[in-house]
Amino acid sequence: MTSPDQRGKTVRDYIRTIENFPHDGIMFRDVTTLFADPRGFRMAIDQMLHPYAGVTIDKVVGLEARGFILGGAIAHQIGAGFVPIRKAGKLPGAVISQAYTLEYGEAVVELHEDAIAPGERILLVDDLLATGGTAAAGIKLVERLGGDVVSCSFIVDLPDLGGRALLDGLGMDVHVLCAFDGE
């Protein structure tokens, strides 16, 4: 039964904003409150799945770390495999690496070199699209292994930071559940 305070809520309503984290002037969009609520979490997963009804997806790739939570749930629902893209040094075995630029420096993400077979259709997921650097690096890794990124899906878009424009420029199909202005 739906309680009165749950009716009419959107995914955005479950996301908490924390001011000045991790730096002054940043409005941090915290999806852990969404994940903690069973109704909110189910709503987010269902809405992230909706655009892919009838679309063949072989594997869901989740970006570290909250993309693992989403990616595992989505992969389970559609009967696809799940593949993590991790920060450098976290995966055992042979990996390929991709450096990318952050707002405050550079980082590297890695993917097992045998995680994606050529021609596999991939859905890339994460919780938040900001500058798009991590997602673009993930796309490059998948494509280097011969995978076809069918689409990218996020809960939150921060359009002021330009990530959507970056992914659109790469020719990606992008789906987001909600957007917040600012950083």
Place of tokens 């494509």: 143
Mean pLDDT, rounded, for 116-127: 98
- C-alpha 1/C-alpha 39 separation (Å) is 11
> Which residues does the annotation mark as catalytic?
66, 103
Tens of pLDDT, residue by residue over 28-66, are 999 999 999 999 999 999 999 999 999 999 999 999 999
Residue 20 has pLDDT above 60, yes or no: yes
Measured from the Cβ of residue 101, the count of other Cβ atoms closer than 10 Å reads 12
Mean pLDDT, rounded, for 13-35: 95
Mean pLDDT, rounded, for 149-170: 97
Domain locations in the chain?
47-179
In a 3-state reduction of DSSP, which class is residue 128?
strand
47-179 belongs to which CATH class?
Answer: alpha beta
pLDDT band for position 139 (cuts 50, 70, 90): very high
- The CA-atom distances, in angstroms, between 6 and each of 2, 35, 143 are 6, 15, 41
Residue 1 has pLDDT above 50, yes or no: no
pLDDT band for position 80 (cuts 50, 70, 90): very high
